[in-house]
């Protein structure tokens, strides 16, 4: 009798685990690089999750991560099937997962920019060329894995000064995200910094920048940046044509408030080839894993 009860309990437990596993298998999971404050990201991407669930007819879950590298790792390990990557992290992820594809980018991502900003105490002013007077200042990038906060500004710094950033500035730091870069330069903790132009423009529109303390001193040439990338095996898991349905849903996202949270005007089609310039630059300066 006892053995029968034990067998029944084990069977019930096995069925429970089977049910949980099946539920997880039916959940479409995505993440995003942590390029801004976490509270902003959770609000934005929970809205995306709700929208995608309605459009795709499956459970959709957003999973936040603590670093750009963690976003790439989650994608590689199939812990997430879709990700909002920057240009560099997208290139890294697609190299690790053959068959993965860039599906959509913001209209603004075709021609993205980095703003170099400076604390007012430096006396630096905006110019068409990055001033030689930035030499020997303290400087902060964003995340080490950021396209607009590290890769492209480092590329342009090397092009301008024919030297590594550590040879140009007295001290080089990594803030971790664009919002943090803005606040550090605004406070004078670093004299100069590089950040995503969209973060600057949104914060400026929201009235949250002390323009007496920090200003733009240079705007980079444009380059391709953020995109939605999907794993190539999603059709096997969620059914034939699922990848195309995901792309269509992203391209048809038209909620003004949700788009403004990115901030993007709309999403347009993207392809892996669009990010070939990013791959080339990353290999050139040795930051492509």
In this predicted structure, the answer to whether residue 77 has a pLDDT above a threshold of 60 is: yes
113-219: same fold as 26-109+224-285? yes
Q: How confident is the model at residue 26 (pLDDT cuts 50, 70, 90)?
A: confident
Q: For residue 25, name the pLDDT band (cuts at 50, 70, 90).
A: low
* 168 φ, ψ (degrees, to nearest 5): -90, -45
Measured CA to CA, the distance from residue 285 to residue 245 in angstroms comes to 37
Check residues 241 and 286 and name the one with the higher pLDDT. Answer: 241
Model confidence at 6: pLDDT above 60? no
Q: What percent of the chain has pLDDT over 70?
A: 91
Averaged confidence pLDDT in the chain: 91
For the purposes of burial, counting CB atoms within 10 Å of the CB of 232, is it exposed (0-12), middle (13-18) or buried (19 or more)? Answer: middle
Residue 35 pLDDT level (bands cut at 50, 70, 90): confident
SS3 sequence of 81-121: CEEEECHHHHHHHHHHCCCCEEEEEEHHHHHECEEEEEEHH
pLDDT value of position 179: 94
Task: Kindly report whether the global pTM for this prediction surpasses the value 0.85.
Answer: no
Fold designation for 26-109+224-285 = D-Maltodextrin-Binding Protein; domain 2 (3.40.190)
Residue 239 pLDDT exceeds 60:
yes
Residue 286 is predicted with a pLDDT of 85
The pLDDT score that the predictor gives to residue 7 is: 53
Over range 103-115, report the average pLDDT: 97
The length of the chain in residues reads 289
Averaged pLDDT for residues 73-89 = 97
Considering the four listed CATH numbers 3.30.1200.10, 3.40.190.10, 3.30.70.260, 3.30.1300.10, the one that applies to the domain covering 113-219 is: 3.40.190.10
Dump strand ranges (E) for the chain. Answer: 27-32, 59-62, 82-85, 101-106, 114-119, 138-141, 171-174, 192-196, 214-219, 227-230, 267-269
pLDDT-based confidence at residue 272 (cuts at 50, 70, 90): very high
The pLDDT of residue 37:
83
Cβ 47 vs Cβ 255: under 8 Å: yes
Residue ranges covered by each domain of the chain: 26-109+224-285, 113-219
Predicted confidence (pLDDT) per residue in 171-210, tens digit: 999 999 999 999 999 999 999 999 999 999 999 999 999 9
pLDDT band at residue 289, thresholds of 50, 70 and 90?
Answer: low
């Amino acid at each position: 009798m006892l053995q029968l009860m034990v067998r029944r309990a084990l069977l019930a437990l096995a069925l429970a685990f089977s049910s949980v596993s099946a539920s997880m298998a039916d959940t479409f999971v995505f993440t995003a690089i942590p390029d801004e404050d976490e509270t902003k990201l959770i609000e934005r991407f929970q809205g995306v999750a709700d929208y995608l669930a309605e459009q795709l007819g499956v459970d959709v879950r957003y999973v936040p991560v603590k670093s750009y590298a963690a976003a790439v790792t989650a994608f590689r390990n199939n812990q997430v099937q879709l990700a909002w990557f920057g240009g560099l992290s997208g290139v890294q992820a697609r190299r690790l997962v053959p068959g993965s594809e860039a599906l959509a980018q913001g209209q603004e991502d075709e021609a993205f920019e980095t703003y170099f900003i400076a604390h007012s105490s430096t006396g630096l002013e905006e110019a068409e060329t990055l001033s030689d007077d930035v030499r020997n200042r303290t400087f902060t990038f964003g995340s080490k894995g950021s396209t607009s906060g590290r890769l492209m500004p480092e590329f342009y710094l090397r092009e301008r000064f024919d030297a590594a950033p550590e040879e140009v500035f007295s001290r080089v730091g990594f803030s971790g995200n664009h919002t943090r870069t803005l606040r550090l330069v605004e406070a004078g903790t670093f004299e100069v910094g590089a950040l995503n132009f969209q973060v600057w423009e949104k914060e400026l529109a929201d009235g949250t920048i002390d323009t007496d303390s920090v200003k733009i001193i240079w705007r980079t040439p444009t380059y391709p940046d953020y995109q939605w990338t999907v794993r190539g095996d999603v059709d096997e898991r969620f059914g034939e044509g699922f990848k195309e349905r995901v792309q269509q849903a992203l391209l048809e996202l038209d909620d003004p408030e949700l788009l403004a949270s990115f901030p993007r005007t709309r999403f347009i089609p993207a392809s892996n080839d669009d990010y070939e310039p990013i791959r080339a630059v990353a290999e050139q300066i040795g930051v492509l894993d």
